[in-house]
Structure 1
Amino acid sequence: MYDPYENTPTATVYDVFADTATRLAGLFVHLSDTAPTAEEREEWWRKVMALRDAKRAVPARDREQLMVHIERWRGELARLEGDPA
C-alpha cells in the first residue's frame, strides 16, 4: 500500500484520521439536522453512529487501517461536498 505519510509518525497519522472522522461526523450531523424528513434525519444519524463505531474500532497504532479510513472518509467528504476530486 502506498503510504502518503511515509515520513510522518504514526501518532500524527492518527491525528489526521481523528480530524477526518470529526469533519465527516460534523457534516453528517449537519445533514441530519437539516434533513427534510424524519427518515432522512434518522439515516444521517445512523451514519454518525457508524462512523463513531468505526473510529473506535481502529487501533491507534494500526497505520494501514488508519490510512484506509482516511482515504475512504476523505472520498466521502469530497462526494458530499461536491468536490470532483
Structure 2
Amino acid sequence: MKDVIFVADVSLGRWADTELSVLYDIFYETGTRLMGEFVALRYAAQAAGDEEQDRFWLGESHRVRDARRSVDSNDRAAIVAMMDAFNHELRYINYVLGE
C-alpha cells in the first residue's frame, strides 16, 4: 500500500483537518446558538409589547434557519464560511448586549 499524503487547505484554518461530520455538527450547533439569541431577543420584545421587534427577531431566526439549511453538508468551505458568519453575529450581539 502506498503512503497517502494529506495536504490541508490553509484557508480553512483549524477546520481543514477536522472530520467533516464533526465540523458539520459544530456548524449546526453554532447556528442553534445564534437562533437561541434571537429567540431571547424576541421574548424580550414580547415582554416589552414591541410587536415590530417581535416580528424582526422571528425573521432573523428564520433567516439563520434557512441559511443553515442551504449549506451542503459535504462542502467544507461553505460550512466554515457560514460558521464564521454565525460566530461573527454572535460576537456582535454579545458586544451590543455588553456580555
TM-score, normalization: structure 1? Answer: 0.90
How far apart are the structure 2 equivalents of 1:14 and 1:75? 17
Q: Unmatched 5+ residue regions in structure 2?
A: 1-10
Residue number in structure 2 paired with 1:16: 26
Q: Unmatched 5+ residue regions in structure 1?
A: none
CA drift of 1:2 comes to 3.2
User: Structure 1 residue 31 and structure 2 residue 41: aligned?
Assistant: yes
| Offset from partner CA, 1:43-72 (integer Å, 9 cap, x none) | 010000111111111111111010001111
How far apart are the structure 2 equivalents of 1:2 and 1:70? 11
User: Structure 1 residue 46 and structure 2 residue 59: aligned?
Assistant: yes
How far apart are the structure 1 equivalents of 2:12 and 2:37? 28
Counterpart pick for 1:73 among 86, 89, 92: 86
- Bigger CA radius of gyration: 2
Identity %: 29
How far apart are the structure 2 equivalents of 1:51 and 1:57? 10
Figure out how many residues of one structure are paired with residues of the other and give that number: 84
How far apart are the structure 2 equivalents of 1:2 and 1:23? 22
TM-score, normalization: structure 2? Answer: 0.78
SS of 1:61 mapped into structure 2: coil
CA drift of 1:7 comes to 2.1
Equivalent AA in structure 2 for residue 40 of structure 1: Q
How far apart are the structure 2 equivalents of 1:15 and 1:21? 10
CA drift of 1:5 comes to 1.3
